[in-house]
Protein backbone atom coordinates (compact mmCIF):
# COMPACT_ATOMS: atom_id res chain seq x y z
CA UNK A 1 0.00 0.00 0.00
CA UNK A 2 1.18 3.54 -0.68
CA UNK A 3 2.67 5.27 2.34
CA UNK A 4 3.05 8.88 3.36
CA UNK A 5 6.52 10.44 3.17
CA UNK A 6 8.92 10.18 6.07
CA UNK A 7 8.46 13.77 7.21
CA UNK A 8 4.68 13.34 7.15
CA UNK A 9 4.93 10.13 9.16
CA UNK A 10 7.17 11.83 11.73
CA UNK A 11 4.73 14.72 12.18
CA UNK A 12 1.82 12.32 12.58
CA UNK A 13 3.71 10.17 15.08
CA UNK A 14 4.59 13.23 17.12
CA UNK A 15 0.94 14.31 17.17
CA UNK A 16 -0.29 11.01 18.59
CA UNK A 17 2.70 10.86 20.98
CA UNK A 18 1.68 14.24 22.41
CA UNK A 19 -1.91 13.01 22.70
CA UNK A 20 -0.93 9.82 24.50
CA UNK A 21 1.47 11.53 26.90
CA UNK A 22 -0.50 14.67 27.75
CA UNK A 23 -3.89 12.93 27.97
CA UNK A 24 -2.35 9.98 29.88
CA UNK A 25 -3.73 7.23 27.68
CA UNK A 26 -2.87 3.60 28.46
CA UNK A 27 -2.67 3.02 24.71
CA UNK A 28 -3.58 4.79 21.50
CA UNK A 29 -3.74 3.55 17.91
CA UNK A 30 -4.38 5.83 14.91
CA UNK A 31 -4.38 5.60 11.14
CA UNK A 32 -4.84 7.63 7.97
CA UNK A 33 -6.65 6.26 4.93
CA UNK A 34 -6.30 7.56 1.38
CA UNK A 35 -7.72 6.00 -1.76
CA UNK A 36 -9.17 3.13 0.27
CA UNK A 37 -5.82 2.10 1.78
CA UNK A 38 -4.02 2.72 5.07
CA UNK A 39 -1.20 5.12 4.23
CA UNK A 40 -0.05 5.63 7.80
CA UNK A 41 -0.49 3.72 11.05
CA UNK A 42 0.94 4.60 14.43
CA UNK A 43 0.48 3.62 18.06
CA UNK A 44 1.73 4.55 21.52
CA UNK A 45 1.45 2.94 24.93
CA UNK A 46 0.99 -0.78 25.39
CA UNK A 47 -1.61 -3.53 25.41
CA UNK A 48 -0.53 -6.51 27.52
CA UNK A 49 3.09 -5.45 27.31
CA UNK A 50 3.24 -4.74 23.58
CA UNK A 51 2.44 -1.80 21.33
CA UNK A 52 -1.04 -2.10 19.85
CA UNK A 53 -1.03 -3.32 16.27
CA UNK A 54 -3.49 -2.80 13.43
CA UNK A 55 -5.31 -5.97 14.52
CA UNK A 56 -5.60 -5.15 18.24
CA UNK A 57 -9.25 -4.88 19.25
CA UNK A 58 -10.79 -1.91 21.04
CA UNK A 59 -14.42 -1.29 21.85
CA UNK A 60 -15.85 1.25 19.39
CA UNK A 61 -19.04 2.28 21.21
CA UNK A 62 -21.42 4.38 19.15
CA UNK A 63 -19.61 3.78 15.87
CA UNK A 64 -21.79 0.66 16.07
CA UNK A 65 -24.76 2.92 15.30
CA UNK A 66 -23.48 3.70 11.80
CA UNK A 67 -23.21 0.00 11.03
CA UNK A 68 -26.73 -0.66 12.32
CA UNK A 69 -27.97 2.31 10.26
CA UNK A 70 -26.34 0.81 7.16
CA UNK A 71 -28.32 -2.37 7.78
CA UNK A 72 -31.54 -0.35 8.10
CA UNK A 73 -30.80 1.39 4.79
CA UNK A 74 -30.28 -1.99 3.13
CA UNK A 75 -33.76 -2.96 4.32
CA UNK A 76 -35.10 0.34 2.96
CA UNK A 77 -33.54 -0.27 -0.44
CA UNK A 78 -35.10 -3.74 -0.49
CA UNK A 79 -38.54 -2.26 0.19
CA UNK A 80 -38.84 -3.97 3.57
CA UNK A 81 -39.12 -0.70 5.44
CA UNK A 82 -39.90 2.91 4.58
CA UNK A 83 -38.05 5.68 6.37
CA UNK A 84 -41.42 7.37 6.96
CA UNK A 85 -42.81 4.27 8.65
CA UNK A 86 -43.71 4.80 12.31
CA UNK A 87 -41.61 2.40 14.34
CA UNK A 88 -44.83 1.05 15.79
CA UNK A 89 -45.63 -0.50 12.41
CA UNK A 90 -42.74 -2.90 12.93
CA UNK A 91 -42.52 -2.88 16.74
CA UNK A 92 -46.16 -2.69 17.88
CA UNK A 93 -45.10 -3.30 21.48
CA UNK A 94 -42.85 -0.20 21.58
CA UNK A 95 -43.93 2.98 23.33
CA UNK A 96 -43.64 6.13 21.21
CA UNK A 97 -44.53 4.04 18.19
CA UNK A 98 -45.43 7.20 16.26
CA UNK A 99 -41.80 8.25 15.74
CA UNK A 100 -40.48 7.38 12.30
CA UNK A 101 -37.55 5.24 11.27
CA UNK A 102 -35.88 8.32 9.78
CA UNK A 103 -36.28 10.22 13.05
CA UNK A 104 -34.68 7.37 14.97
CA UNK A 105 -31.77 7.24 12.51
CA UNK A 106 -31.16 11.00 12.73
CA UNK A 107 -31.76 11.45 16.49
CA UNK A 108 -34.77 13.67 15.90
CA UNK A 109 -37.33 11.28 17.45
CA UNK A 110 -37.48 13.20 20.72
CA UNK A 111 -36.85 10.02 22.73
CA UNK A 112 -34.81 10.11 25.90
CA UNK A 113 -31.06 9.70 25.56
CA UNK A 114 -30.76 6.63 27.79
CA UNK A 115 -32.77 3.53 28.63
CA UNK A 116 -34.72 3.25 31.90
CA UNK A 117 -32.96 1.60 34.82
CA UNK A 118 -29.28 1.75 35.82
CA UNK A 119 -26.54 3.09 33.55
CA UNK A 120 -26.77 0.68 30.63
CA UNK A 121 -23.12 1.00 29.62
CA UNK A 122 -21.93 -0.48 32.93
CA UNK A 123 -24.61 -3.10 33.62
CA UNK A 124 -25.67 -6.28 31.82
CA UNK A 125 -28.33 -5.58 29.24
CA UNK A 126 -31.97 -6.61 29.14
CA UNK A 127 -33.56 -8.73 26.46
CA UNK A 128 -35.55 -6.78 23.87
CA UNK A 129 -38.90 -7.87 25.30
CA UNK A 130 -37.91 -6.68 28.78
CA UNK A 131 -36.60 -3.36 27.49
CA UNK A 132 -39.70 -2.65 25.41
CA UNK A 133 -41.91 -3.61 28.33
CA UNK A 134 -40.11 -1.10 30.57
CA UNK A 135 -40.79 1.87 28.29
CA UNK A 136 -43.56 4.31 29.14
CA UNK A 137 -44.62 7.89 28.36
CA UNK A 138 -41.58 9.25 30.19
CA UNK A 139 -39.25 8.17 27.36
CA UNK A 140 -40.55 11.00 25.15
CA UNK A 141 -38.63 14.19 25.83
CA UNK A 142 -39.47 16.33 22.78
CA UNK A 143 -42.04 16.49 20.00
CA UNK A 144 -40.86 14.12 17.24
CA UNK A 145 -38.96 16.05 14.58
CA UNK A 146 -38.58 19.19 16.67
CA UNK A 147 -34.85 19.06 17.36
CA UNK A 148 -31.71 16.98 17.49
CA UNK A 149 -31.59 14.99 20.72
CA UNK A 150 -29.13 12.10 20.81
CA UNK A 151 -30.88 8.87 21.78
CA UNK A 152 -29.16 5.59 22.54
CA UNK A 153 -32.60 4.17 23.22
CA UNK A 154 -33.64 5.03 19.67
CA UNK A 155 -30.89 2.80 18.28
CA UNK A 156 -31.97 -0.04 20.54
CA UNK A 157 -35.32 0.17 18.74
CA UNK A 158 -33.57 0.15 15.37
CA UNK A 159 -31.56 -2.91 16.38
CA UNK A 160 -34.78 -4.70 17.23
CA UNK A 161 -36.29 -3.54 13.93
CA UNK A 162 -33.40 -5.21 12.08
CA UNK A 163 -33.76 -8.36 14.17
CA UNK A 164 -37.49 -8.73 13.48
CA UNK A 165 -37.23 -8.03 9.75
CA UNK A 166 -34.26 -10.35 9.25
CA UNK A 167 -35.26 -13.03 11.75
CA UNK A 168 -31.80 -13.05 13.39
CA UNK A 169 -30.19 -10.88 16.10
CA UNK A 170 -29.12 -7.45 14.84
CA UNK A 171 -25.44 -8.30 15.35
CA UNK A 172 -25.76 -11.39 13.15
CA UNK A 173 -27.41 -9.36 10.38
CA UNK A 174 -24.80 -6.59 10.58
CA UNK A 175 -21.93 -9.09 10.62
CA UNK A 176 -23.23 -11.15 7.72
CA UNK A 177 -24.46 -8.36 5.47
CA UNK A 178 -22.20 -5.40 6.30
CA UNK A 179 -18.98 -6.35 8.08
CA UNK A 180 -17.89 -9.57 6.41
CA UNK A 181 -18.63 -8.39 2.85
CA UNK A 182 -16.39 -5.38 3.58
CA UNK A 183 -13.63 -7.67 4.86
CA UNK A 184 -14.04 -6.45 8.45
CA UNK A 185 -13.34 -9.84 10.03
CA UNK A 186 -11.88 -8.28 13.19
CA UNK A 187 -15.14 -6.59 14.24
CA UNK A 188 -17.13 -8.65 16.74
CA UNK A 189 -19.85 -8.21 19.39
CA UNK A 190 -17.55 -9.37 22.21
CA UNK A 191 -13.76 -9.07 22.55
CA UNK A 192 -11.33 -11.59 21.11
CA UNK A 193 -7.56 -11.69 21.51
CA UNK A 194 -5.56 -9.59 21.08
CA UNK A 195 -7.71 -6.89 22.66
CA UNK A 196 -7.17 -3.93 24.94
CA UNK A 197 -8.57 -3.79 28.46
CA UNK A 198 -10.70 -0.77 29.18
CA UNK A 199 -9.42 1.55 31.90
CA UNK A 200 -10.38 4.67 33.80
CA UNK A 201 -7.38 6.89 34.55
CA UNK A 202 -7.39 8.55 37.97
CA UNK A 203 -7.77 12.33 37.58
CA UNK A 204 -5.08 13.18 40.14
CA UNK A 205 -2.73 10.20 40.03
CA UNK A 206 -1.13 8.04 37.36
CA UNK A 207 -3.04 4.89 38.27
CA UNK A 208 -5.65 2.83 36.45
CA UNK A 209 -9.01 1.24 37.28
CA UNK A 210 -10.26 -1.57 35.01
CA UNK A 211 -13.74 -0.92 33.60
CA UNK A 212 -16.35 -3.69 33.32
CA UNK A 213 -17.20 -5.33 30.01
CA UNK A 214 -20.55 -6.98 29.36
CA UNK A 215 -23.17 -7.83 26.78
CA UNK A 216 -25.43 -4.80 26.31
CA UNK A 217 -28.42 -6.94 25.38
CA UNK A 218 -31.12 -4.95 23.61
CA UNK A 219 -29.08 -1.75 24.05
CA UNK A 220 -26.14 -3.31 22.21
CA UNK A 221 -27.11 -1.71 18.89
CA UNK A 222 -26.20 1.63 20.47
CA UNK A 223 -22.59 0.67 21.23
CA UNK A 224 -21.76 -3.03 21.52
CA UNK A 225 -19.13 -3.73 18.87
CA UNK A 226 -15.37 -4.19 19.15
CA UNK A 227 -13.09 -3.53 16.18
CA UNK A 228 -9.51 -3.02 15.06
CA UNK A 229 -7.63 -0.13 13.44
CA UNK A 230 -7.45 -2.17 10.21
CA UNK A 231 -11.20 -2.72 10.19
CA UNK A 232 -12.00 0.90 11.06
CA UNK A 233 -9.77 1.93 8.18
CA UNK A 234 -11.99 -0.13 5.88
CA UNK A 235 -15.01 1.54 7.45
CA UNK A 236 -13.49 4.97 6.79
CA UNK A 237 -13.10 4.00 3.13
CA UNK A 238 -16.74 2.87 3.11
CA UNK A 239 -17.98 6.18 4.54
CA UNK A 240 -15.84 8.01 1.97
CA UNK A 241 -17.67 6.19 -0.82
CA UNK A 242 -16.13 2.74 -1.35
CA UNK A 243 -19.33 0.82 -0.63
CA UNK A 244 -18.03 -2.59 -1.59
CA UNK A 245 -21.42 -3.30 -3.15
CA UNK A 246 -23.23 -3.60 0.18
CA UNK A 247 -25.07 -0.31 -0.33
CA UNK A 248 -25.93 1.83 -3.33
CA UNK A 249 -23.74 4.89 -3.71
CA UNK A 250 -26.76 7.22 -3.73
CA UNK A 251 -28.03 5.61 -0.53
CA UNK A 252 -24.71 6.24 1.20
CA UNK A 253 -24.79 9.84 -0.06
CA UNK A 254 -28.29 10.14 1.40
CA UNK A 255 -26.99 8.96 4.78
CA UNK A 256 -24.36 11.72 4.68
CA UNK A 257 -26.87 14.50 4.03
CA UNK A 258 -27.45 16.73 7.09
CA UNK A 259 -30.84 16.12 8.66
CA UNK A 260 -30.23 18.16 11.79
CA UNK A 261 -27.47 20.51 12.90
CA UNK A 262 -26.30 21.74 16.27
CA UNK A 263 -25.87 25.43 15.56
CA UNK A 264 -28.07 26.72 12.79
CA UNK A 265 -26.95 28.18 9.47
CA UNK A 266 -23.22 28.20 10.16
CA UNK A 267 -23.25 24.64 11.45
CA UNK A 268 -20.03 22.88 12.36
CA UNK A 269 -21.61 19.66 13.61
CA UNK A 270 -24.73 17.74 12.71
CA UNK A 271 -26.24 14.38 11.97
CA UNK A 272 -27.44 12.52 8.91
CA UNK A 273 -29.00 9.05 8.79
CA UNK A 274 -26.76 7.16 11.16
CA UNK A 275 -23.64 9.26 10.61
CA UNK A 276 -22.27 12.28 12.40
CA UNK A 277 -21.25 15.25 10.26
CA UNK A 278 -18.70 18.00 10.80
CA UNK A 279 -17.19 20.97 9.04
CA UNK A 280 -13.56 21.49 9.89
CA UNK A 281 -10.83 23.57 8.20
CA UNK A 282 -12.57 23.53 4.85
CA UNK A 283 -13.45 19.85 4.96
CA UNK A 284 -16.94 18.37 5.18
CA UNK A 285 -16.55 15.20 7.20
CA UNK A 286 -18.77 12.20 7.88
CA UNK A 287 -18.26 9.43 10.40
CA UNK A 288 -18.96 8.77 14.06
CA UNK A 289 -17.41 8.89 17.47
CA UNK A 290 -17.73 6.20 20.10
CA UNK A 291 -17.31 5.91 23.83
CA UNK A 292 -17.92 3.17 26.35
CA UNK A 293 -16.50 2.88 29.87
CA UNK A 294 -12.82 2.25 29.27
CA UNK A 295 -12.76 3.14 25.57
CA UNK A 296 -12.86 6.06 23.14
CA UNK A 297 -12.78 5.82 19.35
CA UNK A 298 -13.61 7.97 16.35
CA UNK A 299 -13.54 7.74 12.57
CA UNK A 300 -13.96 10.58 10.07
CA UNK A 301 -13.90 10.54 6.28
CA UNK A 302 -13.92 13.25 3.64
CA UNK A 303 -15.79 11.85 0.61
CA UNK A 304 -14.70 14.78 -1.57
CA UNK A 305 -11.03 14.01 -0.97
CA UNK A 306 -11.14 10.25 -0.48
CA UNK A 307 -9.31 10.44 2.85
CA UNK A 308 -10.13 9.30 6.35
CA UNK A 309 -8.67 9.28 9.84
CA UNK A 310 -9.32 7.20 12.94
CA UNK A 311 -8.15 6.60 16.47
CA UNK A 312 -8.83 4.02 19.18
CA UNK A 313 -7.86 4.33 22.84
CA UNK A 314 -8.57 2.41 26.04
CA UNK A 315 -9.53 5.22 28.37
CA UNK A 316 -12.89 6.37 29.68
CA UNK A 317 -12.28 10.11 29.26
CA UNK A 318 -9.73 12.85 28.81
CA UNK A 319 -8.77 12.98 25.13
CA UNK A 320 -8.59 16.18 23.11
CA UNK A 321 -11.26 16.94 20.52
CA UNK A 322 -8.87 17.77 17.70
CA UNK A 323 -6.71 14.68 17.16
CA UNK A 324 -8.26 13.52 13.89
CA UNK A 325 -8.69 16.98 12.40
CA UNK A 326 -5.06 17.71 13.31
CA UNK A 327 -3.97 14.52 11.56
CA UNK A 328 -5.86 15.49 8.41
CA UNK A 329 -4.36 18.98 8.60
CA UNK A 330 -0.86 17.46 8.78
CA UNK A 331 -1.61 15.45 5.66
CA UNK A 332 -2.84 18.60 3.91
CA UNK A 333 0.25 20.54 4.91
CA UNK A 334 2.82 17.91 3.97
CA UNK A 335 1.14 16.14 1.06
CA UNK A 336 -1.73 18.19 -0.36
CA UNK A 337 -3.89 16.35 -2.85
CA UNK A 338 -3.23 17.17 -6.48
CA UNK A 339 -6.31 18.04 -8.53
CA UNK A 340 -7.37 15.58 -11.17
CA UNK A 341 -5.95 16.34 -14.60
CA UNK A 342 -8.34 18.22 -16.82
CA UNK A 343 -9.28 16.38 -19.99
CA UNK A 344 -11.80 17.37 -22.65
CA UNK A 345 -15.01 15.40 -22.99
CA UNK A 346 -17.38 14.67 -25.82
CA UNK A 347 -20.52 16.82 -25.59
CA UNK A 348 -23.72 16.24 -27.49
CA UNK A 349 -24.53 19.17 -29.81
CA UNK A 350 -27.96 19.54 -28.18
CA UNK A 351 -26.32 19.93 -24.79
CA UNK A 352 -23.67 22.31 -26.04
CA UNK A 353 -26.50 24.50 -27.30
CA UNK A 354 -27.72 24.87 -23.72
CA UNK A 355 -24.41 26.01 -22.27
CA UNK A 356 -23.76 29.61 -21.43
CA UNK A 357 -25.64 32.54 -19.87
CA UNK A 358 -29.30 32.46 -18.85
CA UNK A 359 -31.35 34.98 -16.93
CA UNK A 360 -33.92 34.55 -14.22
CA UNK A 361 -35.54 37.94 -14.55
CA UNK A 362 -32.57 40.34 -14.38
CA UNK A 363 -30.30 37.90 -12.52
CA UNK A 364 -27.56 36.29 -14.66
CA UNK A 365 -27.00 32.54 -14.36
CA UNK A 366 -24.58 30.21 -16.13
CA UNK A 367 -25.43 26.73 -17.36
CA UNK A 368 -22.37 24.49 -17.53
CA UNK A 369 -22.06 20.97 -18.90
CA UNK A 370 -20.92 18.22 -16.51
CA UNK A 371 -19.69 14.70 -17.32
CA UNK A 372 -22.26 11.97 -17.96
CA UNK A 373 -24.81 14.40 -19.45
CA UNK A 374 -25.08 16.46 -16.30
CA UNK A 375 -25.85 20.16 -15.97
CA UNK A 376 -24.92 22.78 -13.40
CA UNK A 377 -27.07 25.91 -13.15
CA UNK A 378 -25.52 28.53 -10.89
CA UNK A 379 -25.55 32.32 -10.41
CA UNK A 380 -22.79 34.13 -12.27
CA UNK A 381 -21.99 36.19 -9.17
CA UNK A 382 -21.66 33.03 -7.08
CA UNK A 383 -24.43 33.95 -4.64
CA UNK A 384 -27.86 32.39 -4.91
CA UNK A 385 -29.47 29.12 -5.85
CA UNK A 386 -27.24 26.59 -7.56
CA UNK A 387 -28.12 23.00 -8.44
CA UNK A 388 -26.87 20.10 -10.48
CA UNK A 389 -29.22 18.22 -12.81
CA UNK A 390 -29.18 14.77 -14.35
CA UNK A 391 -30.94 13.75 -17.55
CA UNK A 392 -34.09 11.63 -17.43
CA UNK A 393 -35.42 9.35 -20.14
CA UNK A 394 -38.38 11.63 -20.90
CA UNK A 395 -36.10 14.50 -21.93
CA UNK A 396 -36.43 16.44 -18.67
CA UNK A 397 -33.76 16.99 -16.04
CA UNK A 398 -33.91 16.13 -12.34
CA UNK A 399 -32.39 18.42 -9.70
CA UNK A 400 -29.83 16.62 -7.54
CA UNK A 401 -29.01 19.13 -4.84
CA UNK A 402 -29.41 22.68 -3.62
CA UNK A 403 -32.69 24.57 -3.83
CA UNK A 404 -33.89 22.61 -6.85
CA UNK A 405 -33.20 19.12 -5.48
CA UNK A 406 -35.97 16.84 -6.73
CA UNK A 407 -37.44 19.50 -9.02
CA UNK A 408 -37.84 19.19 -12.80
CA UNK A 409 -36.05 21.30 -15.41
CA UNK A 410 -37.65 21.39 -18.88
CA UNK A 411 -35.99 22.70 -22.00
CA UNK A 412 -38.64 24.37 -24.19
CA UNK A 413 -37.84 24.49 -27.89
CA UNK A 414 -39.58 26.17 -30.78
CA UNK A 415 -37.09 25.55 -33.53
CA UNK A 416 -34.21 26.37 -31.22
CA UNK A 417 -34.10 26.63 -27.46
CA UNK A 418 -36.44 29.39 -26.28
CA UNK A 419 -36.38 29.12 -22.51
CA UNK A 420 -35.88 26.86 -19.51
CA UNK A 421 -38.82 26.05 -17.24
CA UNK A 422 -37.61 25.15 -13.77
CA UNK A 423 -40.64 24.41 -11.59
CA UNK A 424 -42.47 27.57 -12.82
CA UNK A 425 -39.30 29.70 -12.89
CA UNK A 426 -38.56 30.76 -16.47
CA UNK A 427 -34.92 31.26 -17.50
CA UNK A 428 -34.39 33.19 -20.75
CA UNK A 429 -31.43 34.05 -22.97
CA UNK A 430 -31.94 37.77 -22.37
CA UNK A 431 -33.15 39.49 -19.19
CA UNK A 432 -36.96 39.27 -19.20
CA UNK A 433 -37.04 38.18 -22.84
CA UNK A 434 -40.44 39.31 -24.25
CA UNK A 435 -40.42 36.31 -26.62
CA UNK A 436 -40.67 33.91 -23.66
CA UNK A 437 -43.77 33.34 -21.50
CA UNK A 438 -42.39 35.10 -18.43
CA UNK A 439 -44.95 34.71 -15.60
CA UNK A 440 -46.72 38.03 -15.08
CA UNK A 441 -45.72 39.22 -18.55
CA UNK A 442 -43.08 41.71 -19.66
CA UNK A 443 -43.86 45.43 -19.74
CA UNK A 444 -44.47 46.29 -23.45
CA UNK A 445 -42.44 49.49 -23.03
CA UNK A 446 -39.31 47.43 -22.48
CA UNK A 447 -36.21 48.57 -20.63
CA UNK A 448 -36.03 52.35 -20.19
pLDDT for position 1: 43
CB-based contact 156:218 (threshold 8 Å) = yes
Q: What CATH fold (topology level) applies to the domain 6-334?
A: Beta-lactamase (3.40.710)
- State the burial class of residue 68 (Cβ atoms within 10 Å of its Cβ: 0-12, 13-18, 19+): buried
**What does the pLDDT look like over 180-214, one tens digit per residue?**
999 999 999 999 999 999 999 999 999 999 999 99
Instruction: State the Cα angle at 424 between 446 and 396, rounded to 5°.
Output: 120
Q: What is the number of H-type helices and E-type strands within the chain?
A: 10, 20
Residue 415 has pLDDT above 80, yes or no: no
Which of these, 419, 385, 420, lies nearest to 401 by C-alpha position?
385
Q: Which comes out higher in pLDDT, residue 314 or 370?
A: 314
Sign of CA dihedral 239, 251, 270, 128: negative
Q: How confident is the model at residue 265 (pLDDT cuts 50, 70, 90)?
A: low
Q: How confident is the model at residue 325 (pLDDT cuts 50, 70, 90)?
A: very high
Instruction: Give the helix/strand (H/E) hosting 335.
Output: none
Q: Distance (Å, rounded) from C-alpha 107 to C-alpha 144?
A: 10
**What does the pLDDT look like over 280-310, one tens digit per residue?**
888 999 999 999 999 999 999 999 999 999 9
Domain boundaries, the chain: 6-334, 349-428
Question: What integer best gives the mean pLDDT of the chain?
Answer: 94
Which of these, 362, 369, 371, lies nearest to 430 by C-alpha position?
362
What's the whole-number mean pLDDT along residues 113-126?
A: 89
pLDDT for position 372: 79
pLDDT for position 95: 84
In angstroms, how far apart are the furthest CA atoms of the chain?
87
pLDDT for position 347: 81
What's the whole-number mean pLDDT along residues 394-406?
A: 93
pTM exceeding 0.85: yes
Residue 87 has pLDDT above 70, yes or no: yes
**What does the pLDDT look like over 368-397, one tens digit per residue?**
999 878 999 999 987 778 999 999 999 999
pLDDT for position 266: 65
pLDDT for position 263: 62
Q: How confident is the model at residue 176 (pLDDT cuts 50, 70, 90)?
A: very high
**What does the pLDDT look like over 25-67, one tens digit per residue?**
999 999 999 999 999 999 999 999 999 999 999 999 999 999 9
Residue 311 has pLDDT above 60, yes or no: yes
Number of CB atoms found within 10 A of residue 413's CB? 12
Residue 138 has pLDDT above 90, yes or no: no
Amino acid sequence: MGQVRGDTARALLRRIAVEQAECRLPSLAAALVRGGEIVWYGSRGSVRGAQPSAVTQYRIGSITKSMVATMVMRLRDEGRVNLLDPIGKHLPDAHAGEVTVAQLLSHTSGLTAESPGPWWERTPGLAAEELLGALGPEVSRHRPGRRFHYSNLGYALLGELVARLRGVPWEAAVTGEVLLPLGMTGTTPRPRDPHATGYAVHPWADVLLPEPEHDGGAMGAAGQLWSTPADLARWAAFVAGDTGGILREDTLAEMREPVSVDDGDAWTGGFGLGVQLARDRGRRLAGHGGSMPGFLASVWADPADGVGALFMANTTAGMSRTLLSDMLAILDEHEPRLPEEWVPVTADPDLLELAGPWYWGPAPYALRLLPERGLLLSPVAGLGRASRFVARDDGTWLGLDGYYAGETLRVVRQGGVVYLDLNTFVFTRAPYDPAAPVPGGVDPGGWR
